[in-house]
Structure 1
Amino acid sequence: MPSGHTEVQVRPGIEGDLAALTALYNHYVRETPITFDTTEFTAEERRPWLLSHPEDGPYRLLVAQGGDSQEILGYATSSPYRPKPAYATSVEISVYVAPDAGRRGIGTLLYDSLFKALADEDVHRAYAGIARPNEASERLHARFGFRHVGTYREVGRKFGRYWDVAWYEKDL
């Protein structure tokens, strides 16, 4: 395990995390093409998202918290892949790491915890969409056994340009 993990705790996200989780996500909305949201959220606007990830079941929100300040270092989610009933055993996963917490193994720690939590759930496959280029995310997903299954070319427009999204899947 990379250094610094002794002080990092992974736990289910709670309502008290909402402001910090919203601020972390808004960084990616403002600064990167990693999410195709283009307008920042208020914590109140993100509340339904948080509440859609209970502590158990296939749709989880796990938070990495650590350091002396107990700040939120990142989070990982498993969410419904599509709303139709036949997709119920598939999840879409994502991970967001605080900009100042990168390259510390936080994403790895979160995904390790998420996949352990999903091991006893009735889920068959996990899917991840990665806006390209994002070599760090592609390496993380490969490390967890995801394989590239296709790329949607120029599927999203943000910051005045088009972005590709590579899709990955993993058997659970």
Structure 2
Amino acid sequence: MSTIHVPLAVRDLTPADVPTCTWSGDRRHLEKLPVQLARARDGVVDYLAVCPPSDIPVAIGGVDYEARPGAGVIWQLAVMPALQSCGIGTVLIRAAEDRIRRRDLSTAELSVEEDNPRARALYERLGYHAYGSEKDGWDTEGPDGATVWHETMCTLMRRELR
């Protein structure tokens, strides 16, 4: 087996990127991305894209600075399914942490669904520690295309940034 190293760049997600991110979630998620990009223009979130030389995002995710006072909350992380477990999620999280530091905040927080042990293992490897849990939910697209409410329990995790 050969190993190929592809350079990755992290930049702000743009409205032009949204149509290329169909792998990141359902139709409802894609419809909400422009709302988050407007929040990014207002400076209350950062929304990042990890891109290979093609400049087409292969991972996206945000940092919300309003969700928890004194912390940047990393959320809506997604890596193109075919490229998961290649280190791209780590690149995205480290870039999000850098953005948090630039805001002179020393804490990064995130939540992970309790039925997603792979993601939790990644966050733990990156130094995040569980400190609680909470119920979360959002609108999603059901099998028939109708909007349904998805509810789940999430583990709250944080990492002190130095």
Compute the TM-score of the two structures, normalised by the length of structure 2.
0.74
1: distance between equivalents of 2:4 and 2:100?
25
**1:50 and 2:2 matched:** no
What one-letter code is carried by the residue in structure 1 that aligns with 2:74? Answer: I
In 2, Cα distance between the equivalents of 1:156 and 1:46?
A: 17
2:120 paired residue number: 138
Distance in 2 (alpha carbons) for counterparts of 1:143 and 1:41:
28
Is 2:72–2:100's contact at 8 Å kept on the other side of the alignment? no
2:52 counterpart of 1:63: no
Following superposition, the deviation at residue 101 of structure 1 comes to 1.4
Whether the aligned pair in 2 keeps the contact of 1:62 and 1:75 (CA below 8 Å) is yes
How many positions carry a matched residue from both structures? 150
Give the equivalent residue in structure 2 for 1:12. 12
Task: Name the structure 1 match of 2:145.
Answer: none
Where does structure 1 lack aligned partners over 5 or more consecutive residues? 30-38
Following TM superposition, by how much is the alpha carbon of 1:41 offset from its aligned partner in structure 2, in angstroms? 4.4
Select the residue among 97, 106, 111 that pairs with 2:88.
Answer: 106
- 8 A Cα contact 2:51 2:58, kept in partner: yes
Per-residue deviation at 1:10?
Answer: 1.5
Q: Distance in 2 between matches of 1:66 and 1:123?
A: 29
Q: Any conservation in 2 of the 1:152–1:166 contact (CA below 8 Å)?
A: yes
CA RMSD, aligned part only? 3.0
Identity of aligned residues (%): 17
Give TM-score, length-normalised by structure 1. 0.70
